[in-house]
Structure 1
Amino acid sequence: MSQYLSLLLDCPVVIAAIFIAGIGGTFQYGFSVSVLTSPSVFIKELVNNTCQQRYGLSLEQWQVSLIWSFTVSIFCIGGLLGSMVVGPLMSKYGRKQCLLLNNFVAIFGALLMLFSQKATSFEMIMAGRFLYGINAGVSLSAHTMYLVECAPKRLRGMVGVTISTFISLGKFCGQLLGISELLGTEQRWPWLLGFNGFTALLQLSTLPFLPESPSFLLLNRGDREACDKALKRLWGDKDYTREVEEMMKEKAAMQNVRNHTVMELIQNQNVRWQLITILITFTGLQLCGINAVYFYSFDVFRAAGIQEGQLRYAALGTGLCEVSTSIGCFMIIENMGKKVLLFRGYMGMSVTLVLLTITLFLKTHISWMPYCSMVLIFMFIFCFACGPSGIIAPLPGEIFTQSFKSAAYTLACTLNWTGLFVLGMLFPVLVENLGYFCFLIFLFFCTVCGLHVRFNVPETKHKSALEIAADFDRMHRKSGESKKQSTEQGLNGVKTCETRF
């Protein structure tokens, strides 16, 4: 661990890129996911006041709930739109420029949030949430690809974990700022919802001082000189000849090849197993049960004797657990390996879900069982944060070559947002009909994802996209092929898939 940490400390500009890209990147997503919990009562009251002042109508409870549900869900619709447009934008304008322009979307959304109460307009909150969704959809891909391409190959696992760390930090900050002692009051809640604008301003004022992604400069723009300057600024006066040679090999394989579309990615047989891996892991990321565990945590805390007024502080404990575990994953990932952490994380989550279902079933029969459930909740969050949460986000940028990356991120984020939206719609129905037995559904997805990683995904640590492609081919080659033949076919397969269109 100390070896890799020393390597990172020798690259201060990479450290700056982690914090600057993160605060205006995936932090926005995490904050927006958790921030509406605290001011929900005040927003519903604004909905009623708006209709009374404008139309002289007093809405019934089900009507307010319907408007509230749409306000929450429109964030996912915006996110889906953002994830669909970000690929072409990154390919044309670059990762850094895409992040910079994306901040204006968040700032405009924040202004709508800040003035919604004075204007007595809940529609402004809806529009702001939609813009926040677009911002989050763009930043999930742009932030991830920018960091992965700026980091040295030996540190990509460690740097990639910070993407989920900022998601967790965003969730925790949304919970923390939402308490009544800070911004979760009837007078200050618009400032809580508008907080995304301040983080966007912070990134907008600092990101211009960082270089563009070296991979983008060399592979997309063909500017070797700009690539060398960017590498020197990011990594210092070090020998990065090997990394440049690998990028040049990839550039040679991409000669006269344009960036592929999502449909071309789906149709290409040479990257079939990489595509299957993205489909399974990103679907599993939303259907692993983390949202269900957070939902049931309040019932468990109540059963354990925590006072109703103290539940918000107990919820802060779950958010803090996810942040601290993600930081721990950051420290160990380069030694443990991504495949090991991902497999163990999914298997640990599977075991925990089984035990949690049992303890929730027995909580009314045995007095001390809620305490076991509480421990299992923190264990589940621990397994999630040190496995799927920290490793899956940067995966498309690691296992696909440059011409497929934008399409892969577009597909992955579309799956992420669609899963989040569908889960938001179906989860209340599942809870109402199945109760805590809904964990068994999530158990299935955790187990499938874990087994797929174990038997079908190679280790990606310290490897280039071409080497990973060869490893995928080696794992799934027909019996009887020699190791040498498989390696050659893996490399040739990448070149074929690059020149095929």
Structure 2
Amino acid sequence: METGKEVTGTLAFAIFTAALGSLQYGYSMGVINAPQRVIERHYGRSLGVLPEEAALMSSNGSLLTRDIPQEITHPSVVMYWSLSVAIFSIGGVLSSFLVGFVGDHRGRVKGMLAANVLAVASGLLMGLCKMWKPHIMVIAGRAIMGFYCGLTSGLVPMYIGEIAPKAYRGALGTLHQLAIVVGILISQVIGLDFILGNDDMWPLLLGLSGAPAVLQSLLLPLCPESPRYLYILLGKEDEAQESLHRLRGAYDSSADLEEMRREKEEADKVPRVSIWSLIRSSVYRRQLVVALMMHLSQQLSGINAIFYYSTAIFTRAGVSEPVYATIGVGAINTIFTLVSVALVERAGRRTLMLVGLGGMCFCAVTMTVGLNYQSEYTWMSYVSMLAIFLFVAFFEIGPGPIPWFIVAELFSQGPRPAAIALAGCSNWTSNFIVGMTFSYIQNWLGVYVFVLFAVLLFGFILFMYLKMPETKGKSFEEIATLFRRDGKKAAPSTKVDDVELQQLKTPITA
């Protein structure tokens, strides 16, 4: 008998379709790294800064590279390459503020569908970059793709969190991160020199960033809209009930509709919460601090230092083919995300976050010891590599997937879009900061660079232990009540006064 708790075919289809946006996000994040030297050479030719013999063309029109240096250090090439990498995060930071606006005004499904226009345009710009100036077209394409990924990194977890049954909300929410790491792994594999990461095929490699958007655009019209969006935001109870039945089969939906009704009543008491009013409000402050700290712990843990510079780290550790070791990191990434899917509803969010952060802290220290002593003891290079693999494994057990979906759990319908926008902005901004500063910090600290991340991880462990509640198996209403109850322990009253209500009514639409 259907109870509304089963994962039906329609629900699985809707989540798969939404997660295609996450796959595209992961692919776009990882695809730029493998063909770096090839792209730099084409930039150099386009800018006219390569030696004359390097600009010779073969009979079939491909660039001859036998006389081109393996590393191009011309300032213009370095600048345009750095911009090609960094502009992706800048686009994400900017668009993360629009997640709430797009999700509320277009709907979750139509919002994802509209965003796909950006992804397709980006893919075409990068795929056809040889037709004009590669450096200009790639940078433009990366900027647009970053803007798309900033939207999808908020819309996908929001949609999945709202359509998933309470019993599976954590496991299904983890699929967003799983799709990201699968996308990264795919980009690493097909970015190998003998597949697409070469002089002839690299534009296709970059252009494929937009391929998942084409498939998703065909499938999204078949997906039901979020019933919570239909009922709580639009007030369409009948359509929300129909959406519930499509997603979960024929079952008694009265309990789910009653929960939405109560949440809608609470949301109607206070107008939609804007980003600025959410920042100023003391009512949601604890939830917001927890949400932001979880996203900061994800990006400032040092994981992107591993992803961005793993090849260099493996080379330093003495690996003869570091690119394959990097792909091994991607495989570990994927495997342990699957482990998190299996564990998140059993162990709970708080437990997995603490285990993951604790394991990463230990691995960061071990990695430092291994790198420091590998010149004296050859076996220490294996210690360093093992620490890298375990570091990634612990990341995907908790800090990788959980921050993406837990923000939707911590907030009710009113402040949820603004909270997801703020969390996404903090995630993208810290991602950008790590990507831009790690190489300088590494030059400054040398092998002790991961001691810095170990200290940060220890701080995040203390915070999560003291401030993060367990949300496993709780409804959105129960989670909100939990924060209100805990807040009363710290203050005489959490009642919203007239001044705060007036602040929450501020008509800011970001």
- Normalising by structure 2, we get a TM-score of 0.90
Find out whether 1:279 has 2:292 as its counterpart: yes
Q: Is the 8 A contact 1:46 1:120 kept in 2?
A: no
- 1-side partners of 2:501 and 2:349: how far apart? 26
Match of 2:140 among 97, 110, 127: 127
Question: In 1, are the aligned partners of 2:4 and 2:251 still within 8 Å (CA)?
Answer: no
Cα 1:182–1:269 shift into 2, 3 Å: same
Match of 1:15 among 8, 12, 16: 12
1:72-87 correspondence to structure 2 within 5 Å: 72-87=85-100
Q: Shift of the alpha carbon at 1:42?
A: 2.3
Provide the C-alpha distance between the structure 2 equivalents of 1:438 and 1:187, rounded to a whole number of angstroms: 37
Answer yes or no: is 1:212 the counterpart of 2:225.
Answer: yes
- CA deviations 1:242-294 (Å, max 9, x no partner) are 22211111011112533211110011111111011122111121100112234
One-letter code aligned to 2:104: S
How far apart are residue 424 of structure 1 and its match? 1.7
**Cα drift, residue 333 of structure 1:** 1.1
Residues 29 and 170, structure 1, Cα contact 8 Å, conserved in 2: yes
The one-letter code of the counterpart of 2:17 is I
Contact 1:403 1:498 (8 Å CA) reproduced: no
- What CA distance in whole angstroms lies between the structure 2 residues aligned with 1:495 and 1:339? 35
Q: Percent of aligned pairs with the same residue?
A: 32
In 1: Cα distance, 2:32 partner to 2:497 partner: 45
Name the CA distance, whole Å, in 1 between partners of 2:428 and 2:255.
37
The unaligned stretches of length 5 or more in structure 1 are 1-5, 482-488
Q: 1:105 aligns with which of 98, 102, 118?
A: 118
Give the alignment partner of residue 366 of structure 1, picking from 371, 377, 389: 377
State the aligned residue count.
484
Q: Deviations over 1:194-248 (max 9, x none)?
A: 1122110000001110011111000110000110011001011123332221111
Match of 1:464 among 475, 479, 490: 475
Corresponding residue number in structure 2 for 1:338? 349
Q: Does 1:221 align with 2:270?
A: no
Q: Gapped runs of 5+ residues in structure 2?
A: 56-71, 506-510
Q: Provide the C-alpha distance between the structure 2 equivalents of 1:9 and 1:166, rounded to a whole number of angstroms.
A: 22
Tell me by how many angstroms 1:475 deviates.
Answer: 3.3
Spell out the pairing of 1:4-153 with structure 2 (5 A cutoff). Answer: 10-23=7-20, 25-52=21-48, 61-153=74-166
Contact kept in structure 1, 2:304 and 2:431, CA below 8 Å: no
Once the two structures are superposed, the pairs formed by residues 144-183 of structure 1 within 5 Å of their partners are: 144-183=157-196
Distance 2:81 2:357 in 1: 33
Within the alignment, does 1:381 sit opposite 2:392 as a pair? yes
- Cα displacement string for residues 10-39 of structure 1 (whole angstroms, at most 9, x for unaligned residues): 41112112211111x222221111101122
| Separation in 1, partners of 2:254, 2:500 | 26
Offset at residue 473 of structure 1 (A) = 3.3
Cα separation, 2, equivalents of 1:147 and 1:295: 28
330, 349, 372: which one pairs with 2:360? Answer: 349
Q: 1:156 to 1:263 in 2, by over 3 A?
A: same
Residue in 2 that maps onto 1:410: 421
Kindly indicate which of the two structures has a greater share of residues assigned to helix.
1
1:330: how far off? 0.5
| Native 8 Å contact 1:466 1:494 kept in 2 | no
State the 1:169 CA deviation: 0.8
Q: Is the 8 A contact 2:124 2:207 kept in 1?
A: yes
**RMSD of Structure 2 on Structure 1 (CA):** 2.5
Q: Does 1:321 align with 2:318?
A: no
TM-score (norm 1): 0.91
Mapped partners of 1:472, 1:8: distance in 2:
26
